[in-house]
């Protein structure tokens, strides 16, 4: 191709390749035609064709979270790029570097109230760290490079808005590919004086607890080593479960709304809480009168949730490595032993439904989750829908080997599991990817089951089918509503739907069917769906409840539902067998 024939879109593709981009998730359409032609001519970037742009954004968010590198999604003009916003919010709140390409109307139509006219630079302002429109060919390389650099540096969304006519114009000069290459990452270290102050606080405390978040990734060994030296229980957030649950004798579970084990007590009963790499949002689960040390590379997060005795703007792993030589060993393990004993008792409590199996009873979601965990590969990637799938995965998925668990844990969006699984499987075609979907969540983007077939992505989709927006129903009951409103779902046979689309699919409703079906489902060569009719009376209790507190919780919910349907009362009184086994 002669130099003068190279279009702005050709130049964009060259820059994306130089930036390390290997996939773009999106839907083709209207103003994207010049970009699609350029991708076809170059052939070094794979176009992953999804059925809904929201799926594209969630897929890019998942890829960026798994690699820490730039991922790209794309939407056509107007409604097309507006559909990206939910997944882009997820990427922004998950600190995932994502580049969003938003096609736009031809420049002569902008401002003329033309069909599909929107203004992406205003619409995406809150969830994008950078958003700018290209109005002439010479501007594109500068804007694209800035969007990429900003997405990487600020760990968020960089957006480029490109009118269709500009995308088709001839480029006027060569772009510098050096401007988009990933820079060398630097580790943020704490000063010696700050480390000594932190060590003095830890050496003077007898009950220390670590609360660890996703920013501890890559430093798990150093953090566990420091916890062992300090005899400190290690609590983790949901995003850090797959990092700090495995190979960690000091682990005592997860705190927060979905928590379990001894985590709540370890955090609230300690002398010093050390928050490492987490902007944990639930203040009710944080001590209000204890000493808290927070370590984070995001200075704005320091002290956001609770008053701090010491704020350390630094990398959690670097701090842990430095402290190993500064803290005193040979301290009492009394607090750690107490928390581990309490933790074992709590784990036994939430595991009751795994031990007592009534073959005539409905299939319990807890048991189903553990069976899937037991039969999945040690390096499987799980994607999880918001709602009760979050709860079951937090408590019953086992973090083994190099397993990863992704979900919309900061943004809290339904319908993310299938979309994220597409990104994970496109990135790692050789790894097992399992999407744990609610029946409400899978309904939202069910069309992208066809994406699995079209793109040859062998994702395994599990549907927790109880014909209800289960977590929403629980929230309504707890808020005092006599019975749930607007939470019942049509009793859908998702296996039949999947088979009609061309997927392999199974439907199960009992314990006896579960294990053979799970084995066949996971062994299927291509994409496959397992539709599990689970016990709709399963009741997940909040973390940290004693026997009497749990009974009181059930009683208060029962009193609030005194006039509810019999089915609801059964759920409240007998749905959770934790206290009856």
Tell me what pLDDT residue 252 has: 96
Domain ranges of the chain: 3-180, 192-344, 363-579
118 phi, psi to nearest 5 deg = -135, 180
Distance CA 429, CA 431 (A): 6
| DSSP collapsed to 3 states, 11-63 | HHHHHHHHCCCCEEEECCCHHHHHHHHHHHHHCCCEEEECCCHHHHHHHHHHH
- DSSP annotation of 157 reads E
Distance CA 207, CA 476 (A): 38
Pairing of strands 23-26, 71-75: parallel
Tell me what pLDDT residue 566 has: 47
Element (H, E) at 418: helix 417-427
Q: Return the C-alpha torsion angle 560, 565, 568, 569, nearest 10.
A: 70
pLDDT digit string (tens) for the chain, length 581 residues: 444 489 999 999 999 999 999 999 999 987 899 999 999 999 999 999 999 999 999 999 999 999 999 999 999 988 889 999 999 999 999 999 999 999 987 776 777 777 777 888 889 999 999 999 999 999 999 999 999 999 999 999 999 999 988 999 999 888 777 778 877 777 889 999 999 999 999 999 999 999 999 999 999 999 999 999 999 999 999 999 999 999 999 999 998 878 888 999 999 999 999 999 999 998 888 998 779 999 999 999 999 999 999 999 999 999 999 999 999 987 899 999 999 999 999 888 888 777 766 766 789 999 999 999 999 999 999 999 998 899 899 999 999 889 999 999 999 899 999 999 999 999 999 999 999 999 999 999 999 999 999 999 999 999 999 887 776 777 776 677 777 787 777 889 999 999 999 999 999 999 889 999 999 999 999 999 999 999 887 776 655 444 334 444 444 444 444 444 444 444 444 444 433 33
Tell me what pLDDT residue 45 has: 97
Distance CA 182, CA 161 (A): 22
Question: What CATH code would you report for 192-344?
Answer: 3.40.50.1220
Instruction: Say how many CA atoms lie within 13 Å of 1 toward its Cβ.
Output: 12
Question: What's domain 3-180's architecture?
Answer: 3-Layer(aba) Sandwich (3.40)
User: Across-strand partners of 160?
Assistant: 101, 132
- DSSP annotation of 327 reads S
Do 192-344 and 3-180 fall under one CATH topology? yes
In Å, the largest CA–CA distance within the chain is 79
Asked if 413 and 441 count as a contact pair (C-beta separation under 8 A), the reply is no
- DSSP annotation of 66 reads H
Tell me what pLDDT residue 579 has: 36
Element (H, E) at 382: strand 381-384
Tell me what pLDDT residue 25 has: 98
Tell me what pLDDT residue 562 has: 43
- Distance of CA 490 to CAs 440, 469, 531, 542, Å? 10, 11, 14, 28
Asked if 91 and 60 count as a contact pair (C-beta separation under 8 A), the reply is yes
Q: What's the sign of the alpha-carbon dihedral 249, 343, 535, 557? A: negative
Tell me what pLDDT residue 478 has: 67
| CATH superfamily entry for domain 363-579 | Thiamin diphosphate (ThDP)-binding fold, Pyr/PP domains (3.40.50.970)
Q: Return the C-alpha torsion angle 161, 166, 170, 174, nearest 10.
A: -30
């Amino acid at each position: 191709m002669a130099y003068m024939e190279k279009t702005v879109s050709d130049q964009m593709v060259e820059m994306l390749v130089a930036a390390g981009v290997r996939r773009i998730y999106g839907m083709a359409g209207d103003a994207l035609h010049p970009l699609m032609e350029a991708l076809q001519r170059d052939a070094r970037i794979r176009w992953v064709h999804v059925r809904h742009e929201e799926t594209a954004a969630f897929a890019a968010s998942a890829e960026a979270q798994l690699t820490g590198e730039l991922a790209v999604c794309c939407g056509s003009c107007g409604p097309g790029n507006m559909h990206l916003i939910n997944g882009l919010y997820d990427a922004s709140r998950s600190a995932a570097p994502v580049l969003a390409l938003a096609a736009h109307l031809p420049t002569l139509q902008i401002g003329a109230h033309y069909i599909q006219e929107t203004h992406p630079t205003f619409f995406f302002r809150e969830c994008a760290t950078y958003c700018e429109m290209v109005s002439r060919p010479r501007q594109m390389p500068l804007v694209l490079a800035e969007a990429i650099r900003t997405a990487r540096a600020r760990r968020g969304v960089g957006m480029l808005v490109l009118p269709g006519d500009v995308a088709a114009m001839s480029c006027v000069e060569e772009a510098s590919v050096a401007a988009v290459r990933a820079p060398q990452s630097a580790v943020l270290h704490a000063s010696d004086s700050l480390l000594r102050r932190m060590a003095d606080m830890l050496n003077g405390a007898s009950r220390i607890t670590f609360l660890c978040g996703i920013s501890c990734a890559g430093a798990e060994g150093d953090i566990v080593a420091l916890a062992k030296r300090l005899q400190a229980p290690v609590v983790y957030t949901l995003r850090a479960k797959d990092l700090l649950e495995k190979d960690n004798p000091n682990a005592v579970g997860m705190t927060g709304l979905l928590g379990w084990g001894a985590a709540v007590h370890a955090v609230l009963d300690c002398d010093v809480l050390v928050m490492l790499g987490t902007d944990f949002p639930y203040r009710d689960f944080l001590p209000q009168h204890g000493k808290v040390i927070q370590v984070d590379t995001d200075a704005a997060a320091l002290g956001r949730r609770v008053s701090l005795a010491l704020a350390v703007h630094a990398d959690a792993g670097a701090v842990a490595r430095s402290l190993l030589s500064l803290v005193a060993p040979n301290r009492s393990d009394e607090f750690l032993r107490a928390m581990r004993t309490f933790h074992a008792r709590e784990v036994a409590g939430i595991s009751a439904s795994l031990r007592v199996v009534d073959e005539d009873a409905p299939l319990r979601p807890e048991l189903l989750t553990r069976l899937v965990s037991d039969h999945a590969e040690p390096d499987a990637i799980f994607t999880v829908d918001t709602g009760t799938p979050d709860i079951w995965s937090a408590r019953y998925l086992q973090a083994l080997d190099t397993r990863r668990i992704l979900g919309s844990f900061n943004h809290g969006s339904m319908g993310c599991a299938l979309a994220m699984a597409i990104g994970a499987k496109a990135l790692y075609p050789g790894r097992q990817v399992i999407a744990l979907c609610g029946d409400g969540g899978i309904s939202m983007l069910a069309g992208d089951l066809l994406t699995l077939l079209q793109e040859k992505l062998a994702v395994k989709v599990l549907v927790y089918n109880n014909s209800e927006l289960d977590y929403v129903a629980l929230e309504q009951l707890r808020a005092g509503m006599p019975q749930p409103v607007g939470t019942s779902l049509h009793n859908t046979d998702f296996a039949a739907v999947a088979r009609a689309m061309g997927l392999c699919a199974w439907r199960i409703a009992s314990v006896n069917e579960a294990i053979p079906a799970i084995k066949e489902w996971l062994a299927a060569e291509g994409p496959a769906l397992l539709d599990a009719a689970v016990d709709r009376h399963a009741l997940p209790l909040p973390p940290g409840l004693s026997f009497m507190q749990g009974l009181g919780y059930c009683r208060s919910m029962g009193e609030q539902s005194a006039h509810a349907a019999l089915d609801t009362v059964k759920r409240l009184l007998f749905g959770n067998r934790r206290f009856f086994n």
